[in-house]
Amino acid sequence: MSLQQVSDQELISLYLNGDETVIQELLRRHKTKIFTSIYLLVKDQYLAEDIFQDTFIKVINTLRSGRYNEEGKFLPWVMRIAHNLVIDYFRREKRAPTITSADGTDVLNLIQIHEESAEDRMLREQTHVDLRKMIHHLPDEQKEVLIMRHYADLSFKEIAELTGVSINTALGRMRYALSNLRKMMNIKEVIVSKE
């Protein structure tokens, strides 16, 4: 039986019993999802790679110390470690994430409008700038859920596991985020119409 057919939990057991090669299979299996979720939040290839490496160092150290006890929930556990390292980084740097897609493109520039006039293009660019500013004004919990859901394409179940809250709390934070964005947009429209 090849390592690809073995569950995460079985790989961890093999690792704990001295087979250090299986960590490569765990890494191969989950690297894309973990790295992408980090990259979407930090928007920097090198920083994302550093945080990804720090994540797996922490995973290996936790496994070696015998403190791992997340039966059958390896990926959510690793995603939580990665997520906490990203939060630690932002706390140290005191800066907000810019929203990007997996290939590094600013998500707000992904909307394609063909054959648009110069005026339309300026209006679209200003809208993107305004939306980005509004997202950055959301409370951290709401901003986090919005980014994870719409830009990291995580399910509410995954978001709940990563942030350590119930699915209902994650859904509520998304609802509040969208409601707050709508309010900010309405306020902006009122201000613009008065100018």
Q: Which of 35, 31, 76, 41 lies closest to 151, judged by CA? A: 41
Percent of the chain with pLDDT over 90: 6
71 by DSSP, 3-state: which?
A: coil
Q: How far apart are CA 53 and CA 102, in angstroms?
A: 18
- Its pTM stands at 0.51
Amino acid 105: pLDDT: 53
Residue 170, number of CB atoms within 10 A of its CB: 25
Instruction: Please write the tens of the pLDDT for every residue from 112-163.
Output: 334 445 666 666 666 667 777 777 788 888 888 887 776 666 788 888 888 8
Mean pLDDT (the chain) is 77
Amino acid 51: pLDDT: 92
Of 160 and 72, which is predicted with more confidence? 160
Least confident of 2-6, 151-155, 162-166, 173-177: 151-155
Burial 75-114 (b: 16+ CB within 10 A, else e): bbbbbbbbbebbeebeeeeeebbbbbbeeeeebbeeeeee
Phi, psi of 76 (to 5 degrees): -60, -35
Instruction: Please write the tens of the pLDDT for every residue from 36-53.
Output: 888 888 888 889 899 999
